[in-house]
A and B are shown apart, each in its own frame.
Chain A
Amino acid sequence: MNEVEKTGHLIEKPGHVMFNPDAWQFDDPVVFWVTVTVVFCLSMLTVLFFWVRKNMAEDRKNKEGGAGS
């Protein structure tokens, strides 16, 4: 069912398109690569955050007389 049939009018409510499955066609390369870009960026920041935290914890352990000190 397309947007016109679902809503009965052409003008959508603001913001609605984000949650409209018709807009998220992943076989469309535009939508696919847009999603990849945003998800990768968010993932990268998240991974870097946890990686830095892990390094901080290891470094602290080493300095407090743990392994390798």
Chain B
Amino acid sequence: MSAVAEKDEYNYDIVKFCVIVGIMMGVVGTALGVWIASELAFPFMNMDIAQMQFGRLRPVHTNTVIFGFGGFLLYGAGFYMVQHATHARVAFEKIAWAAVYLWLIAMFCIWVTLPMGMTQSKEYHEPEWWIDLIMATSWVCMTISFLGTIAHRKMSHIYVGLWFFMTMLFMVTYIFVFNGLCIPVDFTFSYSAYAGIHDAMTQWWWGHNAVGFFLTAGFIGVMYYFVPKHANRPIYSYRLSVLHFWSLTFLYVWVGAHHLHYTAIPDWTLSLGAGMSIALIFPSWGGMINGMMTMSGAWDKIRTDPIMRFMVVALAFYGMSTFEGPLMGTKSVNALSHYTDWTIGHVHSGALGWNAMIAIGAMYHMITRMWNTEMWSAKLVNTHFWVHLTGAIFYITAMWGSGVLQGLMWRAFDEYGNLVYTFADSVAAMHPFYALRATGGFLVFCGFCIMLFNTLKTISAVKAGTNVMLTAEARA
């Protein structure tokens, strides 16, 4: 095989479908997020309807943004980059389409069943067993098609972004399946195959690796492809990216135990989880530095190109949240942060700052390249960037404030050893922070609406022939 061979004609239809559905999922998921955030700030919004309660709707929000928005971004970007990085058309196209449709069917099932209270009560793994089966089948189809494309590649080398995708595909498959093992009673209920602390351990083995492999390895793969491509620069250090790949893959699977500090889990397990969490700072920062330094010689592009801005700010948030997370995994910080809103703030600094911004940047990049056009309105892309960033900052700072406040209130004792504050006091103290959080979330939702509008107008302009085509340099 030659180093650079001729290219097959790529299948963009499947990527276009995933990108448009992904943006719609972003709109729906953030709308749900704003609604439940508002329920916490203004409880009358629960309306005394069981299906509308925070506890029922919260997993609908998390599943929609993680598996809906994040999932369709990963499917779309995965099919896009595997074709470009191998010069081969998507392999087993019917299987690839089956993966996409099954994933969409699973999302519809999630939207119906979770509000009705049908849940396995496992975080990020709430859907009942039969929905798990649909999702697992979809994931296996995606894996077959992805690996098949790599097998048909037109060059000997496999780009590092694809390695990150492959580790995601393998690790998510087996951890998702093992965590989902259960004894079904009927379509609405099942018993977990594990009991007690084993259930908790297995759950957080999955729970943290949904973050570690689905939301990190996969999105890092996206970063390694789209940042150099959009900046039109080579990756800063390929050696560092390989080191990043192996260390991240090795370390992430150990850290789930830090979610269970101060519980009945053996202390050595928790210490191991905390230690591995701290060690994880190094590969994470290696990746951030590699992505940032790729901008060398292209920094000026940030001034003129809001898509580039999305990607660079995403890397900054990746670096920040991968420092914050390991520190929160230590026993000292966890003694205060555990069960507080700080955890929610941390998750959202990763989700809104890192995942959403790199995903949005990659989506805009793919839209312009696949339709061979500039966006209908560059100003709206810029507006989206600032609205999203402001919303994310509102959200994160609100949750830092409320989380630290909660932690301090819960551990305040008077001179007799009694708690100074009741739990209800801490709930009342949260109100201004919850209102600010809902405002931040609303801004992020507005950003997604702007993106959807701009995308639809762009596609309409292409169909009408009134669009501005990309320059040859941009298409290169």
Q: Residues of A with Cβ closer than 8 Å to B? A: 2-4, 10-12, 14-15, 17-18, 22-23, 29-34, 36-38, 40-41, 44-45, 48-49, 52, 55-56, 58-60, 63
Contact = CB atoms under 8 A, between A and B. Distances in A.
B420 A49 contact: no
Nearest to B430: A14
Contacts of B327: 33, 36-37, 40
Contact of A59 (B300, B336, B420): B300
B319 A33 contact: no
Nearest to B297: A59
B432 interface: yes
Contact of B324 (A2, A41, A48, A63): A41
Contact of B319 (A3, A31, A37, A44): A44
B421 A30 contact: no
B299 A58 contact: yes
Interface in B401-425: 401, 404-405, 407-409, 411-412, 414-415, 418, 420-422, 425
Interface string B275-313: 000000000000000001001111110110000000010
A55 B405 CA distance: 37
A4 B415 contact: yes
Nearest to B335: A30
6 contacts: A4-B420, A14-B428, A17-B409, A59-B299, A59-B300, A63-B300
Q: Is the interface of B mostly helix, strand, loop or mixed?
A: helix
Nearest to B296: A55
A52 B312 contact: yes
Nearest to B300: A59
B385 interface: no
B173 interface: no
A17 B323 contact: no
B227 to A, nearest CB: 14
B332 A33 contact: yes
B320 A55 contact: no
A23 B302 CA distance: 43
Contacts of B198: none
B267 to A, nearest CB: 17
B405 A18 contact: yes
Contacts of A2: 414-415
Contacts of B349: 41
B337 interface: yes
Nearest to B406: A17
Nearest to A7: B420
B404 A18 contact: yes
Contacts of B323: 37, 40-41, 44
A40 B285 CA distance: 14
Contacts of A37: 323-324, 327-328, 333
B316 interface: yes
A44 B320 contact: yes
A26 B439 CA distance: 33
A14 B324 contact: no
Nearest to B416: A4
A60 B324 contact: no
B429 interface: yes
A3 to B, nearest CB: 6
Nearest to B428: A14
A11 B420 CA distance: 6
B316 A11 contact: no
A20 B336 CA distance: 16
Interface string B433-469: 0000000000000000000000000000000000000
A56 B337 contact: no
A18 B299 contact: no
